[in-house]
Amino acid sequence: MSIKDNITKIRDNVYEISGSYNKKMRATGRLYLDEESFENLEIGAMEQIANVACLPGVQKFAIGLPDIHFGYGFPIGGVAAFNERNGVVSPGGVGFDINCGVRLIRTNLTEEDIADKLDELVEKLFKNIPSGVGSKGKIRLDEDEINDVLDYGAKWAVENDYGWEEDLEYLEENGCIKEADSTKVSDKAKKRGIPQLGSLGSGNHFLEIQKVEDIYDSEVAEVFGLKEGMIVIMIHSGSRGCGHQVCSDYLRLMDKAYKNHNIDIPDRQLACAPLDTHEAQDYLKAMYAAANYAWANRQMMTHWIRETFEEVMGKSAKEMDMGIVYDVAHNIAKKEVHKLNGRDTTLIVHRKGATRAFGPGREEVPEKYREVGQPVLIPGTMGTASYVLHGTDVAMEETFGSTAHGAGRVLSRTQAKKDYKGEDIEKSLNEKGIKIKATSPNVIAEEAPEAYKDVDSVVRVSDETGIAKLVAKVSPLAVTKG
C-alpha cells in the first residue's frame, strides 16, 4: 500500500500520515501543503517524514513544511523535536550547511536614491564580498582566531570592529550559541574555515539589493522598521566548508554510534546517538561552533556591505540607518522549551531547511519585537520576490515554532543546467529591470527560477495555516551570486 493511501487531509493545507503506515512510528507525520504541492510531492519525501517519526524520543509530530522536498535522511523543509531525556540527535536532521541562514539589513534609502548608482553598487558588492565555490574571504585568521570565531560567533566579529554592538540583539541566539566548543571541531574543518570567513559561497546563496514592494500588516511592519519603497539588503549564506566538514566528520561517528547503542533506524542516513552520550554531546558542541562561524560570516559581510554603501552613496552607514532587521538560521538543532500536554518540556528541535517562527511573548525574541513575534525571513528564487512574516502562537502549538525557509528545489542543479542557459536567464532578468552579477553563466543556470517551487505558494500556505503571518513583500533590484 502506498504511503499516500495512509495520508488524511485534516484541514485546508494540512495532512497527516497515519501510524498505520509504519507500526514503528512513534509520532504522527504532518504535512503543510496546498493540494497541488501535495499531489506533486515526491513519495520519497513523504516516506522520509514517516522514517523520522520512527526515531527514539520524537515528540508529537514529524513535520513537513510548505517547502518540503527530498533530502539526506531528513527531508529539507522538515522539523522534528526530541525529548531531552530519551531522544536522539542526528546530523541528517541539520544538514551539511550548518546555520545556512538569512539576514535582512534595512536602510532609509529609496529606489530613487540609488537608481543612478545601482550598477556601481552591484560591481563593488561583487568585488568586496567574495563568492563562488571555494571562494576566500578578505582576511586571514590564525589558529587561535578561528577558535575564537567558532566559540563566539558574531560576538567575535563585532569585538573586532566588524559591526555594531546593537547588531547582536537582532540575531537569532544573538549570533553565538554559548555551548559551542571549538575543541570538538576537527583540524580539517578549521583549515577549510580559515580562508573562507566573510565570503558568500555558491549554490543558492546570494546577496540582493531589494525594495519593500508591499506591506500586508502595517502595525507589525512598523515594529520591524519596514516601510513601503524602502531599500533593504538580504544575505543568504552559511558556514561554508567548515560546516560541511563538521557534518561529514560527525556522520562517520554517528554511523558507528547508532549501531553501538542498538538504535533501530529505517534509513542509515538517519544515523544518530542518544542525547546523553558523548557522541551526541560532541556533535552538538561542534555543530554549535559551526553555527557560530556562520553568524560571524554573515556579520563580516554586513560590515563590508555597509562599507560599500558608504563608499558609493557618500554617507555613513549610520546616516543611512543600516541596522539589522533580523537574522534567522535554517539548518540547526537547538535546545528549546515547548508546551507538551500542557507542561513545559525541554526538547532538541531539529530544523532542516526550516525557519524558527517564535510567536509573541517568547524571551528568545528581541524585546522590540516580543509583542508581535519574531521576524521570519523567507527568500524567493533569483528574480522573484522574498517575504517577511512574523512568528505566531499557532506555530508554537503545531510546529515547535517553525515555518518554511524558502522556495524549495524541484529540479536538481544538474538538470537545471541541462534545461536552461545562464545567458537567457540573465537577459530575462535584465528585461525585468533586475541586475545580476555572478561568477559564471552556469551558476545562473543552476539557480533558474523554474528549478524551484513557487515561493508565493509556499508563503501563502504558511500564512493561511497560521504557522507564520505575512508582513511585507520585498522585490529584487540587483543580485550577486557565487
Distance separating the N- and C-terminal Cα atoms of the chain: 44
Give catalytic status of residue 405 as yes or no: yes
In this prediction, residue 218 carries a pLDDT of 98
Give the dihedral of Cα atoms 154, 160, 164, 165; nearest 10 deg: 70
C-alpha cell of 184? 570538538
136-141, long-range: CB < 8 A, 24+ apart: 136/195, 136/196, 136/199, 137/195, 137/196, 137/197, 137/198, 137/199, 137/300, 138/198, 138/304, 139/197, 139/198, 139/300, 140/194, 140/195, 141/194, 141/197
Residue 349 maps to a domain: yes
C-alpha cell of 95? 544538514
Residue 196 maps to a domain: yes
Report residues of the chain scoring pLDDT below 70: 132-135
pLDDT per residue as tens digits for the range 251-282 = 999 999 999 999 999 999 999 999 999 999 99
Amino acid identity, position 131: S
Annotated binding-site ranges for GMP: 204-208, 330-331, 379-382, 386, 405-408, 481
Domain that holds residue 296: 100-410+452-481
Annotated binding-site ranges: 97, 204-208, 236, 330-331, 379-382, 386, 405-408, 481
Residue 422 maps to a domain: no
Nearest CA-CA partner of 268 in 257, 279, 284? 257
Residue 206 maps to a domain: yes
> Residue 458: helix, strand or coil by DSSP?
helix
How many residues are given for the chain? 482
Residue 442 maps to a domain: no
- Supply the pTM of this predicted model: 0.96
C-alpha cell of 126? 561583487
CA dist 379 and 388 (Å) reads 9
User: How many other CB atoms are found less than 10 A from the CB of residue 158?
Assistant: 22
In this prediction, residue 134 carries a pLDDT of 64
CATH code at 163?
A: 3.90.1860.10
> What is the number of domains present in the chain?
1
> Residue 36: helix, strand or coil by DSSP?
helix
Residue 387 maps to a domain: yes
Residue 416 maps to a domain: no
Residue 404 maps to a domain: yes
In this prediction, residue 452 carries a pLDDT of 84
The residues facing 244 across adjacent strands are: none
